[in-house]
């Protein structure tokens, strides 16, 4: 069978960072103003006052200290509390295309691949800025790439699902070199007025070059030993925004048109799903946790990652074995596990094995087992 390798990765990090203290200050200012606006109803016992958020809670519950966003000012304005992004004209690059190009530059350079040699572009992410034309087709044109391109959305699992799709296209002979891009603008779907989740997400974009092993000259190659995907329907993470909103006469600004989750339930249900996925995947390759040097896990919650890594390895993971990037990036949806891979792969020696694993809404989870060549 055709050997497929990952030869390059790239990362675009937005320039604005928001630490927990600034986020909490803005949130609490909004809470105070909202409680003042509803003072009478609160005094009459008709309404519960809103509670403050706290940096201590955020760090303790999630491990997140800070996040990068495309626009901090709009988010930190208690009168607005959502990013302010400029609408692009049709003759300008779209925002996700721009993020994708920034990440792709690094990935192509590391892989030693010219953009024109790419013949498959997959943009996989949780939120696409428009239904069509596909952002991936726009990127294909901007890169001068050949072949074909398409967008796909499997929420936080989009990157691993896209890697499997790219690897299969290469094995089938339909493509030679693929670029997988994950432009995540999570700050645009996050409800910054929801105390339970206002701290969860950040923005970022990753890019991955996947190609046929016999075509590459790249030094650092990660051979894809296998991929495994799983899905199980759940409403515990849901976003009801969609093109039917205007014909169902629902309020497009209602909170259910943003990210909504039952965090505790997600934690309980997703951890076993993911640890079994990885363990079964390894077993199908005649491997076990003992064979792994690294777990590049989806970056949503520090405790989730510790638990999953513990179950897969059968012991306490070291920070080196299960690197954490969510402390600085927060949850960047599909980009998270790829950021961990991008920043923590170079030190692996030849023959070392690792797993890239993402998980999230759907539920969905994907595992990609790689060997450093």
**Residues designated catalytic:** 156
Q: How far is the CB of 281 from ligand COA (least distance, A)?
A: 20
- Structure token digits, residue 258: 């943003």
Nearer CB in complex with ligand COA: 78/263 = 263
Give CA–CA dist 50/198, Å, rounded: 14
Closest CB to ligand COA among residues 4, 159: 159
Q: Which helix (H) or strand (E) holds 35?
A: helix 20-37
Among residues 127, 58, 82, 62, the alpha carbon closest in space to that of 266 is found at 62
Nearest to 123 by CA among 183, 50, 189, 47: 183
DSSP secondary structure letter of residue 287:
-
Binding site for ligand COA (CB under 6 A): 53-54, 57-58, 61-62, 156, 195-196, 237, 261, 263-264, 266-267, 300-301, 304, 331, 360-361
**Nearer to ligand COA (CB atom), residue 57 or residue 148:** 57
**Is there a contact between 364 and 231 (Cβ–Cβ < 8 Å)?**
yes
With vertex at residue 265, the alpha carbon angle to CA 263 and CA 268, rounded to the nearest 5 degrees, is 110
> Could you tell me the smallest distance in angstroms from the CB atom of residue 199 to ligand COA?
6
Residues, the chain = 373
Q: What is the smallest separation between the CB atom of 177 and ligand COA, expressed in angstroms?
A: 30
Nearer to ligand COA, 66 or 216 (CB): 66
Give CA–CA dist 147/240, Å, rounded: 34
CB of 187 to ligand COA, least distance (A): 14
Smallest distance, ligand COA to C-beta of residue 53, A: 4
Rounded CA gap, 328 and 63, in Å?
A: 9
Task: Say if CB 107 and CB 9 are below 8 A apart.
Answer: yes
Nearer to ligand COA, 62 or 227 (CB): 62
CB neighbourhood size of 213 (10 A): 16
């Amino acid at each position: 069978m055709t050997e497929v390798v990952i030869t390059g990765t790239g990362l675009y990090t937005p320039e604005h960072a928001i630490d927990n203290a600034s986020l909490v200050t803005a949130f609490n200012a909004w809470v105070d103003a909202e409680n003042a606006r509803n003072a009478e109803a609160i005094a009459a016992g008709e309404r519960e006052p809103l509670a403050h958020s706290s940096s201590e809670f955020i760090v303790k519950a999630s491990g997140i200290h800070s996040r990068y966003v495309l626009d901090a000012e709009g988010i930190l304005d208690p009168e607005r509390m959502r990013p302010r992004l400029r609408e692009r004209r049709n003759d300008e690059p779209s925002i996700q295309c721009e993020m994708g190009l920034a990440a792709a530059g690094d990935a192509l350079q590391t892989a030693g691949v010219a953009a024109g040699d790419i013949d498959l572009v997959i943009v996989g992410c949780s939120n696409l800025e428009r239904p069509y034309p596909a952002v991936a087709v726009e990127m294909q044109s901007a890169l001068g790439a050949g072949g074909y391109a398409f967008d796909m959305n499997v929420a936080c699992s989009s990157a691993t699902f896209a890697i499997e799709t790219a690897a299969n296209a290469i094995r089938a002979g339909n493509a030679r070199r693929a670029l997988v891009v994950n432009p995540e603008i999570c700050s645009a779907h996050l409800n910054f007025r929801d105390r339970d989740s206002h701290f969860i997400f950040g923005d970022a974009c990753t890019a991955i070059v996947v190609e046929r092993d016999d075509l590459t000259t790249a030094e650092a190659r990660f051979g894809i030993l296998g991929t495994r995907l799983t899905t199980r329907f759940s409403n515990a993470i849901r976003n009801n925004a969609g093109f039917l909103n205007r014909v169902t006469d629902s309020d497009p600004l209602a909170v259910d048109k943003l990210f909504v989750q039952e965090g505790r339930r997600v934690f309980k249900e997703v951890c076993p799903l993911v640890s079994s996925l990885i363990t079964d995947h390894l077993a199908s390759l005649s491997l076990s946790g003992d064979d792994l040097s690294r777990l590049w896990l989806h970056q949503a919650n520090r405790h989730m990652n510790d638990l999953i890594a513990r179950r897969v390895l059968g012991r306490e993971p070291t920070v080196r074995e299960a690197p954490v990037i969510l402390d600085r990036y927060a949850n960047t949806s599909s980009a998270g596990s790829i950021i961990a891979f991008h920043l923590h792969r170079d030190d692996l020696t030849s023959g070392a094995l690792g797993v890239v694993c993402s998980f999230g809404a759907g539920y969905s989870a994907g595992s990609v087992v790689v060997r450093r060549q």
